[in-house]
Amino acid sequence: FSAVDVIRAKRDGFALSDAQIDWVIDAYTHGVVADEQMSALAMAIFFNGMTAAETARWTQAMISSGERLSLHVSRPTVDKHSTGGVGDKITLPLAPLVAACGAAVPQLSGRGLGHTGGTLDKLESIPGWRAALSTSEILDQLSSVGAVVCAATEGLAPADRKLYALRDVTGTVEAIPLIASSIMSKKIAEGAESLVLDVKVGSGAFMKDLASARTLAEALVAIGVEHGVRVSALLTDMSVPLGRAVGNAVEVAESVDVLRGGGPADVVELTVALAAEMLSLAGISADPAAVLASGEAYEVWARMIRAQGGDPDADLPVASHKHVVEAPASGVLSTLDAYAVGVAAWRLGAGRARKEDPVQAGAGVLCLAKPGDSVEAGQPLLELYTDTPDAVPAALSTLEGSFTIGGEVSSRPLVIDTIR
Ligand code: URA
């Protein structure tokens, strides 16, 4: 094969053959196909798409570029993947909850980039907690605790790691077949028998409109089915931040509240909805709302954190500086834009602009009111936390126009639809 022939075929609107796909992924992984050639191919895919068969094969080729874990544990294995949002800490209460209900939950996660936070960054605000585990540590913890949230091991879908970094700098992230194969190659390589996808839609999500979120969800589910994984997708709202806390340590604290039977209603609702779907795919009959209320999920959380060197009882880091945004008028808060809050938290230091940047554990935004709440003029609406007060003006300018007092409150439900 020649890379130029493969690029021309896709440029001219043809479907790639299985052999072409296998070759180009393998050759790219090994440096035989150059970055500039792969970026031309990714751009041709962006414009001309891939068929369901091509996408399935592309995914398979990326899985085959590395190892596929075999999770030999006695319980059914089930995982969740979110396409990313603002205040999306759901993995933190969800993994221990589903484990407390009898499943084994391997959650190999990533770090945040841009305005969406990363699960590992959040957990790393817990003193002592360690994200990097070996495959044997992952398997041991799955058996002993039932839940593990850690960094994806180097050997999982290395082709995707290389391709995703390339897409990031060539304007080719936003192609549904490439997004779907990227996500599913990592999740299938991780080896869980069942997978629930939380496909977010709204300003704080990758997919801003319902039609494109639905197309992505359908593509993800189709790849899972093709690979023998029991899979479904929830389409969920991401026009408003999830819960009140957006950041790292503040999101851990909110997750612990949920695990202790409290916490914001939307976080509890989505945690329970995703748990119910995961348990249904795993063939376990349990009542996740009751298990959450019983405190058993908190017990699994504490064991999960300890197993990775963390102290679940330690005080969490607090930012040195706080700035309050007050409500400018009285009335019902009708909107609070997830994207703006996500960018503000990022600017305050909760997120990173480049992969190698550090994040601040204590930085973030607390949303003291959510759409539907009545507020009085002068009441604190948002609290901004940072160790770098110089960042506050930029965060404040991002937040200008990010909320409305008075007007219609959206009636869109949190869980918009389920795709099976
Ligand atoms: N997340 C991924 O893992 N891959 C993509 O392509 C987009 C989002």
CATH code where residue 385 lies: 3.90.1170.30
110 alpha carbon to ligand 1 midpoint, in Å? 10
Residue 114's pLDDT band (cuts 50, 70, 90): confident
Supply 315's token pair.
């005080």
pTM above 0.80, yes or no: yes
Residue 330 belongs to some domain of the structure: yes
Q: pLDDT value at position 205?
A: 94
In the structure encoding, which two tokens stand for residue 302, read together? 């504490």
Question: For ligand 1, is residue 46 a contact (CB within 6 Å)?
Answer: no
162 is a catalytic site residue: no
Which residues of 257-357 form beta strands (DSSP E)? 321-326, 331-336
Q: How far apart (Å, rounded) are the C-alpha atoms in residues 268 and 255?
A: 9
Does any ligand 1 atom lie closer than 6 A to the CB of residue 246? no
ipTM: 0.96
Residue 353: how many CA atoms within 13 Å on its side-chain side? 4
pLDDT at 113: 67
Claim to verify: residue 141 and residue 36 sit in the same structural domain: no
- Whole-number Å distance, alpha carbon 179 to ligand 1 midpoint, is 5
Q: Is residue 69 part of a domain?
A: no
pLDDT at 169 over 90: no
164 CB under 6 A from ligand 1? yes
Instruction: Please tell me the distance from the alpha carbon of residue 323 to that of residue 303, in angstroms, as a whole number.
Output: 35
Is residue 64 assigned to a domain?
Answer: no
∠ CA 76-78-79, nearest 5°, is 160
290 and 169 share one domain: yes
Average pLDDT, the chain: 96
Q: Are 116 and 339 spatial neighbours (Cβ–Cβ below 8 Å)?
A: no
130 lies in the same domain as 274: yes
Residues 257 and 335 occupy one common structural domain: no
Residue-wise pLDDT for 221-240, tens only, equals 999 999 999 999 999 999 99
Nearest alpha carbon to residue 344 among 396, 389, 400:
396
- Determine the pLDDT at residue 374: 97
Q: Write out the two tokens for 301.
A: 């959380």
Shared domain check, 91 and 43: no
Written as one letter, the residue type at 256 is V
Q: Tokens 């959450």 map to which residue?
A: 292
Lowest mean per-residue pLDDT among 115-124, 183-192, 301-310: 115-124
Which residue is catalytic, options 162, 167, 244, 347?
167
Q: Please say whether the beta carbons of 93 and 305 come within 8 A.
A: no
300 and 335 in a single domain? The answer is no
**160 counts as catalytic:** yes
* 325 and 303 housed in the same domain: no
pLDDT at 112 over 80: no
- Per-residue pLDDT reduced to its tens digit, 265-286: 999 999 999 999 999 999 999 9
Confidence of residue 75 (pLDDT cuts 50, 70, 90): very high
Residues 111 and 30 in one domain: no
**297 shares a domain with 326:** no
Q: CB count, 10 Å around CB of 157? A: 29
Q: Looking at the domain assignment, is residue 257 inside a domain?
A: yes
* Count of Cβ atoms closer than 10 Å to residue 398 Cβ: 21
Write out pLDDT tens, residues 172-188.
988 999 999 999 999 99
Residue closest by Cα to atom 5 of ligand 1: 179
The verdict on 278 and 349 lying in the same domain is no
Active-site annotation holder among 121, 160, 198, 337: 160
DSSP state of 152: P
- The answer, yes or no, to whether any atom of ligand 1 lies below 6 A from the CB of 41, is no
Task: Note the pLDDT tens digit of each residue in 307-355.
Answer: 999 999 999 999 999 999 999 999 999 999 999 999 999 999 999 877 7
Q: In angstroms, rounded to a whole number, what is the distance separating the alpha carbons of residues 308 and 224?
A: 30
Residue type for position 407: G
- Separation of alpha carbons 143 and 288, rounded Å: 20
Q: What is the pLDDT of residues 46-71, one digit of tens each?
A: 999 999 999 999 999 999 999 999 99
Determine the distance from the C-alpha atom of residue 77 to the mean position of all C-alpha atoms in its chain, rounded to a whole number.
19
User: CA 343, CA 402: separation in Å to the nearest integer?
Assistant: 11
What's the rounded mean pLDDT across residues 407-416? Answer: 94
Task: Quickly state the pLDDT bin for 128 (edges 50, 70, 90).
Answer: very high
Alpha-carbon distance of 182 to 164, in angstroms, equals 7
pLDDT value of position 216: 97
- Contact yes or no for 253/91 (Cβ under 8 A): no
Q: Which domain holds residue 245?
A: 78-156+165-307
Could you tell me which residues come within 8 angstroms of residue 117 by beta carbon, excluding any fewer than 6 positions away? 86, 87, 88, 89, 246, 247, 248, 251, 342, 345, 350, 351
What percent of the chain is modeled with pLDDT above 70?
Answer: 100
Compute the distance between CA of residue 253 and CA of residue 223 in angstroms, rounded to an integer. 35
Residue 84 CA to ligand 1 centre (angstroms): 9
Going by CA atoms, what residue is nearest to atom 7 of ligand 1?
Answer: 179
Angstrom CA distances, 169 to 162, 174, 244, stand at 12, 12, 32
The DSSP secondary-structure symbol of 207 reads B
Report yes or no on 413 lying in a domain.
no
Q: How far is the CA of 21 from the centre of ligand 1 (A)?
A: 19
Q: How far is the CA of 375 from the centre of ligand 1 (A)?
A: 38
CATH number at residue 9: 1.20.970.10
145 in the same domain as 183: yes
Domain count, the chain: 3
Token representation of residue 27:
């050759």
**Lookup: tokens for 309:** 């060197």
